[in-house]
Amino acid sequence: MDEIEIVQKAKQGDMHAFELLFEGYKAKAMRTVYLMTGNPHTTEDIVQEAFTTCYLSLHTLKQPEYFKTWFFKLLTRLTWRTMKKEKGLVPTDTINEIMELADAKAKVDTMEEVQDRNMIYSQILKLDYKLQTTIILYYYNELTVKEIAKVMGCLEGTVKSRLYTARKQLKLHLIEEGKQHKSKEAYGI
């Protein structure tokens, strides 16, 4: 049974079909929200609320083939709303937890690769929430530019612009971080 059939059955109230959707999207939802908030407790609350809202609102989805974008739009909006309530603060001491969650399926890496990934994650967390969300949806959830545009309620050109801006900002921040890291090494810090 493909995803469209599962969504159609879930829309008709088939609880087993909804459970299949839940199992298929739970890990992606957890990763997405956690990368945006950096807080495991907030992540669980948002994901639970997202699936509850999804279940209660699924009947409003007109085209089952757009479930993925519809769900991520719902998830993203709930996350943004929660971040606004909590002032969008992301604890920086959760970088290692974020790295572990995002790389749960990855192979064992060298220490340098782990440090590089930690540095990238910490810089992603410093981006504006729209740039951050765009990067997370594109690279961590592998949504297309078109899907991200639907999720975020903007034009495809805006998504491309945000990706460009985010990459540019990340590059500048990472270069600066690298310079600081090298200067610390030079002084034995």
DSSP string, 14-62: -HHHHHHHHHHHHHHHHHHHHHHH--HHHHHHHHHHHHHHHHHHGGG-S
What is the pLDDT confidence band of residue 97, given thresholds at 50, 70 and 90?
A: low
At 38-48, the pLDDT tens digits run 888 999 999 99
- Residues 83 and 171: their CA atoms lie apart, in Å, by 25
CATH number of 82's domain: 1.10.1740.10
pTM, two decimal places: 0.73
At 9-33, the pLDDT tens digits run 999 999 999 999 999 999 999 999 9
Q: 65: which residues sit within 8 A by CB, 6+ positions away?
A: 4, 7
Domain extent at residue 61? 3-186
Considering only CA atoms, which of 51, 80, 46 is closest in space to residue 151?
Answer: 80
What is the pLDDT confidence band of residue 187, given thresholds at 50, 70 and 90?
A: very low
Contact 49, 75 (CB under 8 A): no
Q: How much is the pLDDT for 125?
A: 83
160 pLDDT higher than 60: yes
Higher-pLDDT residue of 95 and 134 is 134
115 pLDDT higher than 50: yes
- Residues 147 and 152: their CA atoms lie apart, in Å, by 9
Number of domains in the chain: 1
150 pLDDT higher than 60: yes
Q: What is the maximum span of the chain, computed from C-alpha positions, in angstroms?
A: 66
Q: Can you tell me whether residue 189 is helix, strand or coil? A: coil
Higher-pLDDT residue of 99 and 151 is 151
Neighbouring CB atoms inside 10 A of 97's CB total 15
- Residues 12 and 4: their CA atoms lie apart, in Å, by 13
At 64-87, the pLDDT tens digits run 999 999 999 999 999 999 988 876
126 pLDDT higher than 90: no
Over residues 136-159, the mean pLDDT reads 94
Q: How much is the pLDDT for 188?
A: 43
Contact 103, 117 (CB under 8 A): yes
